[in-house]
Amino acid sequence: MRILLTGAAGFIGGHIRSQALARGHDVVALDAYLPQAHGTGGAYDSSIHRIDLRHDPLDEVLDGIDVVCHQAAMVGNGVDAQDLPDYAEHNDAGTARLLAAMSRAGGRDLVLASSMVVYGDGRYTCPVDGDVPPAVRREDDLAAGRFDPRCPVCGGEITWREIGEDTPFLPRTSYAASKVAQEHYAGAWCTLDDARTVALRYHNVYGPGMPADTPYAGVAAIFRSAIARGEAPQVFEDGQQVRDFVHVSDVARANVLAIERVAVHPPGLTPYNIASGHPFTIGEMARVLAGAADGAPPELTGDYRRFDVRHVVASPRAATEGLGFTAEIAPEVGLAQLATDPLRRR
């Protein structure tokens, strides 16, 4: 199968490329080599086409392509309103141009890198009002160390629950809004061209090759870098924020399975949560990393940001049923390995 892979020089894209080649696929690799992610040193892989989806010609590289695997994106939190234009330009416009070029080339199959951030915070159950989204966290609660959100109806206590792919979008950052837009553009393209998209909503991806010192660095890389400097990881709030940490090799395998199976999906966009299925707190993650590295134990700072997501945990069942995907690396194993895994530096 001939695959066009965007973002091929990135953290996840590089792992996808390796696994796809190992399974005998022909991979045409693209990357814009954005300075935010790759620096300005000019060390580029000559086997990867240096192409920016926002303005470079795409028709030639799409010739003879069977499936497009679209990983290219500006990531990071994007928590400042001044970030909105950059996310819209890179992620929304770049994806729209790619879809238009696929339409001209007759392409009908897309695997799209989406994210759990499209959901915003997770979903909760109130003993009085049933299943609810969380209310916006109150400043007085946060200042007093009450970090869990309240019921938006009665103001009472709520407990988190797993979310499925039918959970409504509630994006909270520039990045999240751009991932929602990417899914909407892909869905519109599917309708217009009778095409198929498999959208993979990644949860917290970690593993060897994570960016260490860029806006792309996630909390696992931030903690890992602190430990390498001999510092204690600084954990916000009370460390009880629940996430799903999924190893990059599992994420890459999910992509390859999606590439191989997108053609058997019905026309339209089909989303899948890509998660380990093993909820883990941020405090636990910091302790596992520090313990595996024999480093200083994490410190709870009590610091908070009102817009931060408190809990978000997905059900991976749909990906198991639709793609045959089940994560193989448990967080306690993979995160311990991350303590000595090499990180990517610009």
Burial level of 156, CB count in 10 A (0-12/13-18/19+)? exposed
What was the pLDDT predicted at 40?
54
Q: pTM above 0.85?
A: yes
Backbone angles phi, psi at 25, to 5 degrees: -85, 155
Q: What domains lie within the chain, and their CATH numbers?
A: 2-122+163-339 (3.40.50.720)
Band of residue 204 on the pLDDT scale cut at 50, 70, 90: very high
Residue 302 has pLDDT above 70, yes or no: yes
* Average pLDDT value for the chain: 93
Buried b (16+ CB within 10 A) or exposed e, 65-88: bbbbbbbbbbbbbbeeeebeebbb
CA 240 to chain centre: 21
In this predicted model, what pLDDT tens digit does every residue of 38-86 receive, in sequence order?
655 556 788 999 999 999 999 999 999 999 999 999 887 666 788 899 9
Interatomic CA distance for residues 45 and 172, integer angstroms: 35
What was the pLDDT predicted at 216?
54
Task: Tell me which residue has tokens 């991932």.
Answer: 179
What was the pLDDT predicted at 33?
86
Judge whether 97 and 183 are in contact, CB under 8 Å. no
Percent of residues, the chain, with pLDDT higher than 90:
80
Interatomic CA distance for residues 25 and 212, integer angstroms: 30
Q: Sheet holding 130-132: strands in order across?
A: 130-132, 123-126, 159-161
